[in-house]
Amino acid sequence: MQEKLMEICTAFRLPGSFDRWEEVKVGNINKTYKVTYARENGLEKAYILQRVNPFVFKNPEQVMENIERVTQHFRRLQPGKVTLHYHHTRDGKNFVRDGDYIWRVVNYIPSAPVTDARDETLVRNAGFAFGEFQAVLSYFDPAQLYETIPDFHNTQKRFDALEEAVEADSLGRVKEAEAELSWLRSVREDACCLCRMQEEGLLPLRVTHNDTKVNNVLFDKKDHRALVVIDLDTVMPGLAGNDFGDAIRSVANTAAEDEKDLSKVSCDLRMFRAFAEGFLEPTAHAFTQHEMDTFSISCFALTVELAVRFLTDYLLGDPYFYCAYPAHNLVRARCQMALARDMQRKMGEMEKIIADCAEKYR
């Protein structure tokens, strides 16, 4: 591995000499490494190297083009703020190609380790960071971005893909998921409500992050203020509710995304409120009433959508999400379903919190 990493670093002409590397275990998709260089002045400098998953990102050049445009926009609108700088090769590209893979190098930003992703201050600050991200990108034309994963949050198509996988049943796994399938089918209409509203022209197309997890925000070591939003792979045209719903899906779950004991899984309304407060502070004045009205149901929709994606991947033999054991995707799907059920029960309270925040920040 070291040789490969050194070869990539050489292509990016990093100054100094390669000293050491370590793998950073984050996410289910790409491979990430931290590389440290020794400089001639005796100081060290670290970089993040990433190998992009070609199965997920069929067109990585377009992913990198989006990232270039978005990071430039941030530098222009928020000069002086911490931003991601993707390094360029001799021929001016922000990636190198290595067979099917592309590699990229970004500045390493020292930040507070997130030991408790359910710390209220941190969650509020993460909400603010994702809200601000949308606010800054409201001055950016979504048509300037490629749709790098087409129909990423098209819940209807996600359901269609599930039905196709069921139909094919290529591994004979459907029999293990009958109960899950029947519940998912029963909530399909509700889960697809954002898609329908979009089709009816009720929701504006914005620029969204599409992976709004707390660990996609870096925080200041001293005061835990959000420094910067990272993981820009899925920045695409999208709906505000997708970012809000996906964030709640990940942060408000009282258990891990792959918890087997479903009695531990629930939607923590304290986390919901903390994130909503942060998210709506910089954005509430700009969102339309229809958009705000989708925020609570979007949590349910995005949670069901991910359950559908995990289950589809399970039925297909796990080609998409990294799995640590054979039934990992089935376990993940069940966990998301348990969370979605709890959200159904709490929908009224969630709506009340959104209305409170909207009133406060509008």
Q: Which residues lie near Mg ion (CB under 5 A)?
A: 211, 231
Contact partner at residue 208 from Mg ion, ligand GN1, none, CB < 5 to 8 Å by partner kind: none
Residue 289, exposed/middle/buried by CB under 10 A (0-12, 13-18, 19+)? exposed
Residue 51 to residues 35, 55, 95, 109, 352: CA-CA distances in angstroms?
13, 12, 10, 18, 43
What DSSP string describes 22-70? EEE---SSSEEEEEEEE-TTS-EEEEEEEEE-TTT-S-HHHHHHHHHHH
Contact partner at residue 162 from Mg ion, ligand GN1, none, CB < 5 to 8 Å by partner kind: none
Chain centre to alpha carbon of residue 127: 13
Contact partner at residue 60 from Mg ion, ligand GN1, none, CB < 5 to 8 Å by partner kind: none
Name the residue nearer to ligand GN1 (CB basis): 14 or 343.
343
Q: How far is the CB of 288 from ligand GN1 (least distance, A)?
A: 25
Name the residue nearer to Mg ion (CB basis): 250 or 296.
250
Tokens of 178: 């009958």
Q: How far is the CB of 45 from ligand GN1 (least distance, A)?
A: 25
Closest CA to 133 of 240, 251, 41: 240
Q: How far is it, in rounded angstroms, from Cα 310 to Cα 328?
A: 9
Contact partner at residue 28 from Mg ion, ligand GN1, none, CB < 5 to 8 Å by partner kind: ligand GN1
What DSSP string describes 188-201? HHHHTHHHHHHHTT
Name the residue nearer to ligand GN1 (CB basis): 104 or 281.
104
Contact partner at residue 331 from Mg ion, ligand GN1, none, CB < 5 to 8 Å by partner kind: none
Name the residue nearer to ligand GN1 (CB basis): 35 or 306.
306
Q: How far is the CB of 149 from Mg ion (least distance, A)?
A: 11
Q: How far is the CB of 213 from Mg ion (least distance, A)?
A: 7
Residue 56 to residues 52, 53, 80, 103, 229: CA-CA distances in angstroms?
8, 6, 33, 14, 21
Q: How far is the CB of 212 from Mg ion (least distance, A)?
A: 10
Q: Are 335 and 342 in contact (CB under 8 A)?
A: no
Q: How far is the CB of 309 from ligand GN1 (least distance, A)?
A: 7
Provide the sign of the torsion angle of the four alpha carbons 173, 176, 178, 183, taken in this order.
Answer: negative
Name the residue nearer to ligand GN1 (CB basis): 25 or 90.
25
List interacting residues with ligand GN1 (CB under 6 A).
27-29, 56, 211, 231, 234, 257, 306
Strands 236-238 and 206-208: antiparallel
Name the residue nearer to ligand GN1 (CB basis): 56 or 323.
56
Question: In the complex, which residue's CB is closest to ligand GN1?
Answer: 27
Q: How far is the CB of 257 from ligand GN1 (least distance, A)?
A: 5
Q: Are 301 and 243 in contact (CB under 8 A)?
A: no
Q: How far is it, in rounded angstroms, from Cα 106 to Cα 50?
A: 8
Contact partner at residue 281 from ligand GN1, Mg ion, none, CB < 5 to 8 Å by partner kind: none
Name the residue nearer to Mg ion (CB basis): 55 or 91.
55
